């Protein structure tokens, strides 16, 4: 046993001896030296490869490729914000803005031409009206021409009697008599009209005159038509006083025709009411009265409509001014974009 233990110990000690080339320790050291040299060589090669990737002397190095890409992106960004290139984003945006401005300008010019044409057409119609037969006559004849046209459409019979004596001796008061047609509820009822372009007629004298006209022409309802040129200041455009109606009419203004039409409607309603005053239809008097009052009320709105219509031209001028302001703002913004693009190019360079 001692011999075996000694032999085993010597064998183990021999494995850790550097004197023997074939010992385990010698082989381990040899292996370590060999492996260390290989690792050092690999590390050296790796470091060289890494250094080469960060070298600007090689065109295919990672750093060279990164710098090339950055420079390419820089050139692309600069190209998008320059006006020297037709296809750049800034150039396209500028073209779109200019196109928008041109479109707005054309539309504004077309709108302006439309407004001017409409105003010219209105002016031409007005001049034509002044040159027409209606405006070529005096006020009385012009008023009768209008009444005649309204009556013919309604089936009533107008008659100009201003040059003839009536029931009162030597009296010609009452210029026109309207006889309601056979289809009317008050057929044969008479309405007398008096037309004056005379500044001496105030409201009281007008009512007195129409009262005489009713007696002279055997009429129950009277219509006194004042010329707007000579009507008393403050006189309502349309008002009813019992069975008499007073209207202020401008023979040169088509917009004033509504007042005279409304006055004729009220007179006809009054004539129907007077002619049908019996127990069977007494309940309808309130309806007649309400209808007459509503016509009077609605006629007061005509002045508001006339005032509003006169503002159309002013509104068109405001729209054109707004378009010019928008166009100037667009030009200013384009100039600001040009300035910023120039500053950006300098900064990139």
Residues 349, 342: Cα–Cα separation, whole Å: 11
**Which pLDDT band, with edges at 50, 70 and 90, does 179 fall under?**
very high
Residues in the chain: 349
Please check the confidence at residue 120 and state whether its pLDDT lies above 60: yes
Mean pLDDT of 325-349: 51
Mean pLDDT of 129-157: 77
pTM: 0.48
Please check the confidence at residue 225 and state whether its pLDDT lies above 90: yes
DSSP labels for 143-184? HHHHHHHHHHHHT-EEEE-TTS--SSTT----SEEEEPPTTS
Mean pLDDT of 171-179: 93
Per-residue model confidence (pLDDT) at position 284:
52
> Does residue 37 or residue 225 have the better pLDDT?
225
**Which residues are 177's β-sheet partners?**
159, 192
CA within 13 Å, CB half, 309: 10
> Does residue 339 or residue 250 have the better pLDDT?
250
Please check the confidence at residue 347 and state whether its pLDDT lies above 50: no
**Which pLDDT band, with edges at 50, 70 and 90, does 207 fall under?**
very high
- Helices 257-275, 285-309: crossing angle, 10 deg rounding: 180
Please check the confidence at residue 348 and state whether its pLDDT lies above 50: no
Residues 6+ apart with CB under 8 A from 199: 230
> Does residue 177 or residue 9 have the better pLDDT?
177
Mean pLDDT of 267-284: 68
Please check the confidence at residue 308 and state whether its pLDDT lies above 70: no
Tens-place pLDDT, residues 87-117: 777 788 888 888 888 888 888 888 888 888 8
Per-residue model confidence (pLDDT) at position 112:
84
What is the distance, to the nearest Å, from the Cα of residue 283 to the centroid of all Cα atoms in its chain? 49
Mean pLDDT of 200-213: 94
User: What is the CB neighbour count within 10 angstroms for residue 50?
Assistant: 11
Tens-place pLDDT, residues 281-298: 444 555 555 655 666 566
> Does residue 12 or residue 172 have the better pLDDT?
172
**Which pLDDT band, with edges at 50, 70 and 90, does 345 fall under?**
very low
**Which pLDDT band, with edges at 50, 70 and 90, does 322 fall under?**
low
* For the chain, domain boundaries: 2-53, 59-131+317-349, 133-309
Tens-place pLDDT, residues 41-85: 666 667 767 767 767 677 777 777 787 888 888 777 777 777 777
> Of the candidates 138, 143, 116, which has an alpha carbon nearest to the alpha carbon of residue 256?
143
Mean pLDDT taken over the chain: 77
DSSP labels for 190-220? EEEEEEE--TT--HHHHHHHHHHHHHHHT-S
Residues 349, 343: Cα–Cα separation, whole Å: 10
Contact of 339 with 292, CB cutoff 8 Å: no
Helices and strands of the chain, counted as H and E runs: 10, 6
Residues 135, 257: Cα–Cα separation, whole Å: 13
Contact of 20 with 26, CB cutoff 8 Å: yes
Q: Report strand pairing: 238-241 vs 221-227.
A: unpaired
| Least-confidence region, from 131-145, 174-188, 313-327 | 313-327
Mean pLDDT of 221-228: 94
Per-residue model confidence (pLDDT) at position 332:
58
State the DSSP code for 222: E
| Least-confidence region, from 14-28, 233-247, 323-337 | 323-337
End-to-end CA, the chain: 92
Query: CA-CA-CA-CA torsion for 194, 229, 139, 118, nearest 10 degrees?
Result: -130
Per-residue model confidence (pLDDT) at position 58:
73
Which pair of structure tokens corresponds to residue 146? 């209008």
């Amino acid at each position: 046993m001692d011999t075996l233990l000694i032999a085993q110990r010597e064998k183990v000690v021999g494995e850790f001896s550097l004197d023997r080339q074939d010992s385990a320790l010698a082989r381990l050291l040899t292996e370590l030296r060999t492996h260390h040299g290989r690792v050092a060589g690999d590390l050296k090669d790796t470091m060289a490869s890494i250094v080469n990737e960060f070298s600007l002397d090689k065109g295919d190095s990672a750093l060279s490729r990164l710098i090339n890409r950055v420079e390419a992106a820089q050139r692309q960004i600069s190209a998008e914000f320059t006006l020297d290139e037709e296809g750049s984003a800034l150039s396209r945006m500028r073209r779109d803005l200019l196109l928008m401005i041109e479109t707005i300008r054309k539309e504004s010019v077309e709108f302006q031409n439309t407004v001017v044409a409409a105003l010219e057409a209105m002016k031409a119609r007005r001049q034509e009206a002044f040159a027409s037969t209606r405006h070529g006559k005096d006020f009385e004849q012009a008023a009768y021409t209008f009444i005649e046209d309204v009556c013919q459409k309604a089936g009533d019979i107008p008659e100009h009697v201003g040059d003839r004596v009536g029931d009162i001796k030597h009296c010609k008061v009452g210029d026109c008599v309207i006889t309601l047609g056979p289809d009317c509820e008050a057929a044969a009822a008479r309405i007398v009209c008096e037309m004056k372009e005379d500044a001496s007629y105030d409201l009281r004298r007008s009512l007195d005159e129409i009262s005489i006209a009713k007696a002279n022409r055997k009429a129950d309802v009277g219509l006194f038509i004042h010329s707007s040129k000579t009507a008393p200041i403050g006189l309502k455009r349309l008002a009813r006083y019992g069975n008499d109606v007073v209207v202020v009419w401008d023979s040169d203004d088509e917009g004033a025709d509504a007042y005279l039409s409304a006055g004729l409607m009220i007179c006809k309603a009054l004539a129907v009411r007077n002619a049908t005053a019996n127990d069977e239809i007494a309940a309808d008097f309130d309806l007649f009265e309400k209808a007459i009052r509503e016509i009077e009320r609605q006629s007061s709105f005509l002045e508001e409509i006339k005032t509003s219509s006169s503002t159309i031209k002013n509104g068109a001028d405001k729209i054109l001014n707004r378009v010019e302001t928008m166009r100037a703002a667009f030009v200013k913004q384009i100039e600001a974009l040009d300035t910023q693009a120039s500053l950006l190019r300098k900064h990139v360079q």
